[in-house]
Amino acid sequence: MKICIKCKKEKSRESFHKDRTRKDKLRPYCRECVFEYNQAKNEKKAEYDRQYTKSKRHGITLEYYKQILKKQNNKCGLCLTPFGKRNGKGPVIDHCHNYKIVRGIIHNKCNVGIAQLGDNAKTAYLAYQYLKNFEKKNGRTNL
């Protein structure tokens, strides 16, 4: 039996990875604690890599990306709802295809909506009027 220095639980010797350099020939952390640590570390690195890739693709630094998110209060620049796992894919960098500049950070579904409207403010406004007119005629208000 051996006590894990992380969780402080006494566990069987089979619960620890081998380590020839140590006196008892076992690592000080149990397999379960090593697994949890590695999983957390990998998730953190994966998130950093995703953000770094997004930033590089659009010619902005990771710091500028984080600055935009902070300025938007970690909310979508279009629909103003917070970013989160339940909102479909996470935040994406919205950019103008004509001028190659970043407009903001928005949900993937919001970005697709803008693209479907041709990245055109006039078309987006016409879509707004269309929906507004429908709501007036039918007595329903979502906007």
**pLDDT tens string 32-75:** 999 999 998 888 888 777 777 777 788 888 888 889 999 999 99
Per CATH, the number for 74-143 is 3.40.1800.10
Assessment of whether the complete model's pTM goes beyond 0.85: no
Instruction: Report domain extents, the chain.
Output: 74-143
3-state secondary structure the chain: CEECCCCCCEECHHHEEECCCCCCCEEEEEHHHHHHHHHHHHHHHHHHHHHHHHHHHCCCCHHHHHHHHHHCCCECCCCCCECCHHHCCCEEEEEECCCCEEEEEEEHHHHHHHHHCCCCHHHHHHHHHHHHHHHHHHCCCCC
**pLDDT tens string 75-103:** 999 999 888 755 556 788 998 888 888 99
